[in-house]
């Protein structure tokens, strides 16, 4: 319908990509306009269809509808993460397909509790088209039996990793519209004071219309303004890890996410991982092969061992022109933006806001807002554009709730109450039907994932 509906569930491109259906992007009018109103949801299922699907309605002081994976392939998960497994299920309230993420063994220790609570709060805080947010959280059992959390999110058909490794071609238009959405979502996250800390193709979900959403906030945290306070280095998948983390910096900023985006941008252009090393030291060597030996100023936050490793080796000259060989899509504008992202010194790395203003992304912005976004809409007289193409959030995300968390039992009670408060609305709460065959299959697969 919009010219971007081009992906199958396996991430492969269908034929006729960008061939028709999407009108040529026109410059948006200067006059501001209100956002489009959301479409009315489908009518919820009646009791007959609930019974037919094997779902039951709980009789209690807090009525709930049981949820299980009554989808096309209920016995197979759609994704695995470091902290859980994701399944495709059907919401019995309206028949929509959604994603269900199970967070198991939440209350093993205080660190795990805090991490999960932070992620839950973030998922409920986010309100942005290019950032995955929680649609619902399943009703928890009595607190004595409360050990795992189930989060419902929008179902996305694929992710950028599957798309990149698929054998069919990616056009420059795809690269531009994907990169635009990544930076658009990242600008929002950084405006909220949040560092994602694990930006990689597998954490960038893509639906059948090529709309992209940043997901997996298990490693995300609020930025630290005090440079004397140490931050963990156990973040970011190695191939997308910024040089300051590889060199042992104890403090870093949201520029680590920009480095990751630069690596992904190069991967979109070349269809291969830019820095694919076997160890962190080799990863650093590959980076200096491209960028050259960094200055002492660029290594000011590095640990002594990493600095000594760089200085022991031969002096390297930058070889940035090799980026033009990534593919025919590596134009002057593309390489210029890529070089602004892949800067060794994090203080000189381009921000998400400034990257969005780069000329390379002009076409991606117009295509996204012409036929893909929900913030603009079409009338009989033409397209009506929003007044703010790349919105930010105000106020920032507040992590003050973490300061007073001192025990597992305390956090467990707070999370339990938080979920119950999230369900105070007009919709009937959801909960698991533990007797359903699909749920038992869900549990088996989750157990296998933990063993792996």
pLDDT tens digits for range 345-401: 999 999 999 999 999 999 999 999 999 999 999 999 999 999 999 999 989 999 989
Helix (H), strand (E) at residue 431: strand 430-432
Q: 54-57: long-range contacts (C-beta < 8 A, 24 or more apart)? A: 54/433, 54/436, 55/92, 55/433, 55/436, 56/433
| Cα(287)–Cα(339) distance, integer angstroms | 12
User: Quick one: tokens of 114?
Assistant: 């805090």
pLDDT for 93: 85
Known binding residue 101? Answer is yes
Helix-helix angle 172-191:255-270, to 10 degrees: 170
Over the stretch 270-295, which tens digit does the pLDDT of each residue have? Answer: 999 999 999 999 999 999 999 999 99
pLDDT for 449: 59
Average pLDDT over the chain, rounded to whole?
Answer: 82
Tell me whether residue 416 is exposed, middle or buried, using C-beta atoms within 10 angstroms of its C-beta: 0 to 12, 13 to 18, 19 or more. middle
Give the helix ranges, DSSP H, for 139-279: 160-165, 172-191, 243-246, 255-270
Local confidence band at 88 (pLDDT 50, 70, 90 cut-offs): confident
pLDDT for 257: 97
Q: Say yes or no to pLDDT of 313 above 80.
A: yes
- Under the phi-then-psi rule, with left for phi > 0, alpha for psi from -120 to 50, and beta for the rest, what region is 371? alpha
- Average pLDDT over every residue of 96-106: 89
| Cα(275)–Cα(161) distance, integer angstroms | 15
Measure the N-to-C terminal CA separation of the chain; round to a whole number of Å: 41
Over the stretch 102-128, which tens digit does the pLDDT of each residue have? Answer: 888 899 999 989 999 999 999 999 999
Q: Say yes or no to pLDDT of 215 above 60.
A: yes
CATH of domain 158-384: 1.10.510.10
Share of the chain above pLDDT 90, in %: 63
Give the helix ranges, DSSP H, for 60-149: 110-125
Over the stretch 125-176, which tens digit does the pLDDT of each residue have? Answer: 999 999 999 999 998 989 999 999 999 999 998 999 999 999 878 999 999 9
CATH fold match for the domains 62-155+406-451 and 158-384: no
pLDDT for 451: 60
Local confidence band at 65 (pLDDT 50, 70, 90 cut-offs): very low
Q: Of 153, 261, 161, 260, nearest to 202 (Cα)?
A: 161
CA distances from 151 to 123, 136, 207, 431, 451 (A): 9, 6, 19, 11, 22
Helix (H, G, I), strand (E, B) or coil at 214: strand
Over the stretch 401-428, which tens digit does the pLDDT of each residue have? Answer: 998 899 999 999 999 999 999 888 767 8
How is the chain split into domains, by residue range?
62-155+406-451, 158-384
pLDDT for 43: 36
- Average pLDDT over every residue of 19-35: 42
Running DSSP on this structure, what letter comes out for residue 239?
G
Name which of 24-38, 123-137, 172-186 the model is least confident about. 24-38
Pick the CATH number of 62-155+406-451 from 3.30.70.580, 3.30.200.20, 3.50.50.60, 3.90.1510.10: 3.30.200.20
Active-site positions read 198
């Amino acid at each position: 319908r919009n010219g971007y509906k081009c992906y199958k569930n396996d991430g492969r491109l269908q034929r006729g990509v960008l061939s028709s259906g999407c009108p040529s992007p026109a410059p948006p009018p200067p006059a501001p306009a209100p956002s489009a109103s959301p479409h009315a949801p489908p009518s919820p299922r009646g009791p007959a269809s609930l019974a037919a699907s094997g779902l039951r309605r709980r009789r209690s002081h807090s009525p709930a509808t049981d949820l299980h994976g009554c989808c096309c392939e209920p016995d197979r998960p759609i994704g695995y993460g470091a902290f859980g497994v994701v399944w495709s299920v059907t919401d019995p309230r309206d028949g929509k397909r959604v994603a269900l993420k199970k967070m198991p063994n939440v209350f093993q220790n205080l660190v795990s509790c805090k991490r999960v609570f932070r992620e839950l709060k973030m998922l409920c805080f986010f309100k942005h088209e290019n950032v995955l947010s929680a649609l619902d959280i399943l009703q928890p059992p009595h607190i004595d039996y409360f050990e795992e959390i189930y989060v419902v999110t929008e179902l996305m058909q694929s992710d950028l990793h599957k798309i990149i490794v698929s054998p069919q071609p990616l056009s420059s238009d795809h690269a531009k519209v994907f990169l635009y959405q990544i930076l658009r979502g990242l600008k929002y996250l950084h405006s909220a004071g949040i560092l994602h800390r694990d930006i990689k193709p597998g954490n960038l979900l893509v639906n059948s219309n090529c709309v992209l959403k940043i997901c997996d906030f298990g490693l995300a945290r609020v930025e630290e303004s005090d440079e004397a306070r140490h931050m963990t280095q156990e973040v970011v998948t190695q191939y997308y890890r910024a040089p300051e983390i590889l060199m042992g910096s104890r403090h870093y900023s949201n520029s680590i996410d920009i480095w990751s985006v630069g690596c992904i941008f190069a991967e979109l252009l070349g269809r291969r991982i830019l820095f694919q090393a076997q160890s962190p030291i080799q990863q650093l060597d590959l980076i200096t092969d491209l960028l050259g030996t960094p200055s002492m100023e660029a290594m000011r936050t590095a640990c002594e061992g990493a600095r000594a490793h760089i200085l022991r080796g031969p002096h390297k000259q930058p070889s940035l022109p090799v980026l033009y060989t990534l593919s025919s899509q590596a134009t002057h504008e593309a390489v210029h933006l890529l070089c602004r992202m892949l800067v060794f010194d994090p203080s000189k790395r381009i921000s998400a806001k400034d990257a969005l203003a780069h000329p390379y992304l002009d076409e991606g912005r117009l295509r996204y807002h012409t036929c893909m976004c929900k913030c603009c809409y079409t009338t009989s007289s033409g397209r009506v554009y929003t007044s703010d193409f790349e919105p930010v959030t105000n106020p920032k995300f507040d992590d003050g709730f973490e300061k007073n968390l001192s025990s597992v039992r305390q956090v467990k009670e707070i999370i339990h109450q938080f979920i119950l408060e999230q369900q105070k609305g007009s919709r009937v709460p959801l909960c698991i039907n533990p007797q359903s065959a699909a749920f038992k299959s869900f549990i088996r697969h989750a157990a296998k994932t933990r063993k792996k």
